[in-house]
Amino acid sequence: MKRIFISVGEISGDNYASELIKRMPDVQWIGITGPKMREAGCQSIDTIENISVVGITEAIPKYFHIKKTFKKAVEELDKGVDLLIVVDFPGFNLKLLEEAKKRGIKTVYFIAPQVWAWGKGRIPKIVKNTDVLISIWPFEKEIYKDYIGKNFKLEYVGHPLLDIIKTEETEESFRKKLKIPEDKTLIGFLPGSRESEVKTLLPIMLRAGKRLSEDFSTHFLVPITENVENLAKEIISSYKDLSVSLITKKDFTYPSYEVLKHSYFSVIAS
């Protein structure tokens, strides 16, 4: 049985990686995982929830834990894997690709860093340590065209969300499940999946919602991931006079997509 190590550092990557794992059931998967990857059967050496960071203020407190996780990942490479797949999360994954190449392990970068947005300085390192770059944007082939050759290939596959996005509810069934009256205008608040995002952005969104509710008959929808559910509940509890539904996978299979579909408009982070 083939053994593949997969490294993911964000919730969006968890969504994409879990679909890949489901489509390749005859592989032994191990890696740094999110909840959907674990549900799909991937063995975990650590979780996204423990290592996901934004900016230096989040990175400093988690530095030693991330360093320990990196060491564990390299140890798994040393045990022997047939392939390393990394998904986005360049600060961590570029170093892991380098370690894999030193060991002669084939590497795939699925959803590469957005060099077209953040600068092209990382391109040589990506190319040097990646056998196949799987691109989700059509224009990325042009960016990498001078590097494509025997040792570096780029495959454009389109955005995985086109295959993942699904909704199951009509507006009537959606409102019925959440017990929302028909006369309420639905507005979505999507503060993100990281603790720091929810802590910072959700109170701002709810304060804006309070202002809106003074002039309009509104109901606010907050889809949230499992890792920040308790934090979101705590924040929302301070807005008892606001008509809000906290929505999780316990309510709908795809909470965010249902909210986006049924909201008059949504305020979205990242």
Per residue in 219-231, pLDDT (tens digit) is: 999 999 888 999 9
Residue 106 has pLDDT above 90, yes or no: yes
Percent of the chain topping pLDDT 90:
74
**pLDDT classification of 50: cutoffs 50, 70, 90:** confident
Contact call for residues 41 and 18 (beta carbons, < 8 A):
no
The mean pLDDT value for 148-158 works out to: 94
Residue 59 has pLDDT above 80, yes or no: no
The position carrying tokens 């390192």 is 125
pTM: 0.75
CATH number of 171-268: 3.40.50
Tell me, what's the pLDDT at 270? Answer: 66
**pLDDT classification of 57: cutoffs 50, 70, 90:** low
In this predicted model, which residue has the larger pLDDT, 57 or 239?
239
In this predicted model, which residue has the larger pLDDT, 118 or 23?
23
CATH architecture of 2-164: 3-Layer(aba) Sandwich (3.40)
Q: How far is CA 65 from the centre of its chain?
A: 20
Tell me, what's the pLDDT at 251? Answer: 95
Report how far residue 119's alpha carbon sits from residue 175's, in angstroms, rounded to the nearest whole number: 44
Report how far residue 229's alpha carbon sits from residue 249's, in angstroms, rounded to the nearest whole number: 11
Tell me, what's the pLDDT at 49? Answer: 83
Q: What is the dihedral of CA 138, 140, 145, 148, to 10 degrees?
A: -100
Residue 192 has pLDDT above 70, yes or no: yes
Tell me, what's the pLDDT at 56? Answer: 60
Fold identical between 2-164 and 171-268?
Answer: yes
**pLDDT classification of 268: cutoffs 50, 70, 90:** very high
Q: Across the chain, what does the average pLDDT equal?
A: 92
Tell me, what's the pLDDT at 128? Answer: 96
Tokens standing for residue 153 = 């290939």
Residue 54 has pLDDT above 90, yes or no: no
Contact call for residues 103 and 129 (beta carbons, < 8 A):
no
Tell me, what's the pLDDT at 188? Answer: 98
Q: Per-domain residue ranges for the chain?
A: 2-164, 171-268
Nearest-CA neighbor of 91 among 124, 57, 56?
Answer: 56
Tell me, what's the pLDDT at 58? Answer: 64
Nearest-CA neighbor of 227 among 41, 57, 36?
Answer: 36
**pLDDT classification of 12: cutoffs 50, 70, 90:** confident
Tell me, what's the pLDDT at 153? Answer: 96
